[in-house]
A = this chain, B = another copy of it.
Amino acid sequence: MKHTGRQNALYAQSGGVSAVINASACGVIETAMRRSRHIGKVYVGRDGIIGALTEDLIDVGRESAATIRALKHTPGGAFGSARFKLKGLEQNRAEYERLIEVFRAHDIGYFFYNGGNDSMDTALKVSQIGESLGYPVTCVGVPKTVDNDLPHTDCCPGFGSAAKYVAVSTREAALDVTSMARTSTKVFVFEVMGRHAGWIAAAGGLAGRKPGDAPHIILFPEIPFEPERFLERAQQCVEEYGYCVVVVSEGAAYSDGRFLAEAGTRDAFGHAQLGGAAPVIANMIRERLGYKYHWAVADYLQRAARHIASKVDVEQAYAVGKAAVELAVKGTNAVMPTIVRKRAKPYQWTIGHVPLSEVANQEKKVPREFITADGFGITAACRRYLEPLIAGEAYPPYRDGLPDYVRIKGAPVRRKLKTTFKV
């Protein structure tokens, strides 16, 4: 392939999607298309890195500008994402070599990988192997995770919207419960995401303002679950306030590391029932305190809820996508744009960047000083951190009462390789 002085770009989505990952896609694509001195065609891997490995690329040039723009208000992964972690170089050199083979065939000089910790590790490795195979690729990570657990960035695009959804839902459900607690449900349990870090659960804490406001108890993965202390507090709340709202992280676990969600419930066949910390907690309430309870599990609803996305989150998601391209065309390799908090109130932020090597495979948990001494709530410092991230509404357009989300055409790029690759 003749080298024209400019090279093509490949963007791929990775891991769990979010309400705003497509806003990052929009930022990457719109910016890349404007940088025509450096970037030729803009391709996207269908189903993320799998599309890159199998040479199944989408030609974004065949989508209308309106479609690209509408990505900014469309949740999920419009191009497909994948839970597919490339193994280490030693275990599976073939995958990396295949990637470079595809990149070479399609003259791809820029690789933008939109994901979490694992994906930053992959982007770093691609950059290294390209170099060693004599086909250097500028690899820039685009941060994304509702879990908010990437280090070196003030927050992660996707988190603010999940946080807003959880805070709003907690406030709304609490109003429901309190209005009927006298004769009906006294304990409401709301399960939210966050397998290892309690950021989303912490966001539930924003629903309350004054002492006594719901949620009364937050169960963090960071704080070992002690049933007796929990039950005592729940009873106290019902006696004092008439009701008790519990936000429980799916990652809440006993001190021995067992998740609540896998602790006990069995189906009719005696098989352990996976998933559902909320029903476990609710059953505990019933068994021990006898209160009427209800429980909800938000699951994907919370990370797909573009209808109640945080405006700040949408803007940051777009900005990191845009910054990734700007860094790449300046030749900055193996980095990830970050969000830098300049000021908390009024909230001011800017974009920085860190080497991928400092982000890869790391995890940022909720610090102890963000959790109240009793382990059941958030501190003022945590509130100061979280509040700006859910600020502002960025409503999608509606048609016939429903959000008018876009779907891409997804026209494939003609294959150039004779070889196939089985993932």
Q: Tell whether A138 is near chain B: CB-to-CB under 8 Å.
A: no
CA distance A79 to B17 in the complex (A): 40
Choose one: B169, B179, B280; the contact of A77 (CB below 8 Å): B179
Q: Is the CB of A398 within 8 A of B402?
A: no
Q: Is the CB of A296 within 8 A of B298?
A: yes
Q: Is the CB of A401 within 8 A of B164?
A: yes
Q: Tell whether A173 is near chain B: CB-to-CB under 8 Å.
A: yes
Choose one: B168, B183, B286; the contact of A402 (CB below 8 Å): B168
Q: Tell whether A324 is near chain B: CB-to-CB under 8 Å.
A: no
Which A251-310 residues sit within 8 Å CB-CB of chain B?
263-269, 271, 273-276, 278-280, 282-283, 286-287, 294-301, 303-308, 310
Q: How far is the CB of A212 from chain B (nearest CB, A)?
A: 12
Q: Which residue of B lies closest to A302 (CB)?
A: B296
CA distance A168 to B400 in the complex (A): 11
Choose one: B263, B301, B308; the contact of A173 (CB below 8 Å): B301
A304 in contact with B78 given A279-B273, A283-B273, A295-B275 (CB within 8 Å): no
CA distance A403 to B17 in the complex (A): 26
**Residues in B whose Cβ lies below 8 Å from that of A299:** 173, 294-296
Q: Tell whether A331 is near chain B: CB-to-CB under 8 Å.
A: no
Q: Could you name 11 residue pairs across A and B whose Cβ atoms are closer than 8 Å?
A: A17-B179, A76-B175, A169-B304, A172-B304, A172-B403, A265-B267, A296-B300, A297-B297, A387-B400, A391-B400, A391-B401
